[in-house]
């Protein structure tokens, strides 16, 4: 069963999550291939159970839709970001990447609705360059663009970047840490704020998820990341994404399976409570 077929019966409510694929990797700086991420995640979802024992919840009891992929092939980065921004509907968007640049469009759309929106980033990299190879909008600058737009940023799992990027993170981010769990005091301060969650698959160790464009050693284990996400189960999540899954760099196919499991678990954690009424009989 793929995610496309796993949602609870009935018409999802207005707040239901919508999976949106963004097959785009035009600004990849080392190894391209994340354009195939959304399709690989959907395919791999057929290999995992809809029930999560650690969360004791099942996708069959969660209303969501798969809205398919956006038509972004061949677009310039700014046009891709614009396309993503326009795609964000009234429900909870869950974007499947594709490169990290897509986060900019989703956050811009949600920030227009939620003035106090904050972003939590799980990533191996700071992504805080002002420009990279002459580009102001790319996967290496996406978090800098968010800071420049006044979006509060929490950076977790960070273990790579330039000296300048780390200085900017310490000065301008709410928090930056190699750890994947945010401090309890910070989580408490964010309790009432709308949050956008962005997860770069390279926050995980390459031994866990090798299929990504810029792997970095000494990353997190899956269980560590899931524990960090569970710490937000009582928070107000208004959008999320999972990016940088690059299937060509993992011939064994483990990374898409890991990503599909993560999509399942994030849906189970952050989908609005309750399920649609099931048909009688």
Mean pLDDT by 10 residues, the chain (281 residues): 55 75 93 96 96 94 94 97 96 96 98 97 98 94 98 98 98 98 97 97 98 96 98 96 98 97 98 54 35
Q: Is 67 exposed, middle or buried (0-12, 13-18, 19+ CB in 10 A)?
A: middle
Q: Where are the beta strands (DSSP E) in 140-225?
A: 153-156, 175-177, 194-200
Place of tokens 């310039």: 76
In sequence order, what are the beta bridge partners of 113? Answer: none
Q: Is residue 40 part of a domain?
A: yes
Q: Is residue 199 part of a domain?
A: yes
The residue length of the chain stands at 281
Angle at 165 between CA 159 and CA 168, to 5 degrees: 115
Q: Is 9 exposed, middle or buried (0-12, 13-18, 19+ CB in 10 A)?
A: exposed
- Identify which of 8, 86, 40, 73 has the alpha carbon closest to the alpha carbon of residue 263: 40
Rounded CA-CA distance 91/13 in Å is 8
pLDDT of residue 3: 63
Range of the structural domain that residue 130 is part of:
3-270
Q: Is residue 281 part of a domain?
A: no
pLDDT of residue 103: 98
pLDDT of residue 46: 95
Place of tokens 């926050």: 203
Q: How remote is the C-alpha of 258 from its chain's centroid?
A: 13
The answer to whether 106 and 91 are in contact (CB under 8 A) is no
The tokens describing 120, both together, are 């939590």
- Identify which of 247, 267, 254 has the alpha carbon closest to the alpha carbon of residue 38: 247
- The phi, psi pair for 74, rounded to 5°, reads 85, -5
pTM: 0.94
Q: Residues annotated as binding site?
A: 100, 123, 125, 127, 200, 202
Count of domains in the chain?
A: 1
pLDDT of residue 7: 54
Q: Residues annotated as binding site for Mn(2+)?
A: 100, 123, 125, 127, 200, 202
pLDDT of residue 274: 53
Q: Is residue 275 part of a domain?
A: no
pLDDT of residue 69: 97
CATH number at residue 137: 3.40.800.10
């Amino acid at each position: 069963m793929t995610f496309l077929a796993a949602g609870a019966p009935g018409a999802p409510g207005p707040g239901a999550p919508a999976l949106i694929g963004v097959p785009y990797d035009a600004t990849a700086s080392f190894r391209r291939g994340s354009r195939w991420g959304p399709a690989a995640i959907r395919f791999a979802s057929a290999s995992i159970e809809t029930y999560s024992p650690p969360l004791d919840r099942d996708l069959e009891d969660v209303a969501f839709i798969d809205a398919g992929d956006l038509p972004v092939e061949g677009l310039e980065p700014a046009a891709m970001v614009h396309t993503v921004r326009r795609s964000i509907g009234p429900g909870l968007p869950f974007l499947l990447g594709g490169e990290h640049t897509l986060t900019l469009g989703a956050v811009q759309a949600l920030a227009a609705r939620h003035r106090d929106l904050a972003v939590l980033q799980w990533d191996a990299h700071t992504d805080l360059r002002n420009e990279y190879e002459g580009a102001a909008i790319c996967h290496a600058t996406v978090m800098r663009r968010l800071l420049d737009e006044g979006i509060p940023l929490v950076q977790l799992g960070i273990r790579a970047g330039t000296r300048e990027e780390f200085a900017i993170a310490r000065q301008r981010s709410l928090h930056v840490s190699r750890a994947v769990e945010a401090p309890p005091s910070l989580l408490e301060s964010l309790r009432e704020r709308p949050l956008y969650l962005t997860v770069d698959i390279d926050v995980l160790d390459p031994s866990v998820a090798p299929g990504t464009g810029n792997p970095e050693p000494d990353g997190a284990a899956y269980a560590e990341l899931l524990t960090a996400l569970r710490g937000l189960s009582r928070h107000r999540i208004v959008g999320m994404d999972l990016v940088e899954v690059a299937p060509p760099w993992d011939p064994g196919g483990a990374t898409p399976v890991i990503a599909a499991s993560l999509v399942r678990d994030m849906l189970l954690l952050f989908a609005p409570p309750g399920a649609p009424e099931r048909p009688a009989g």
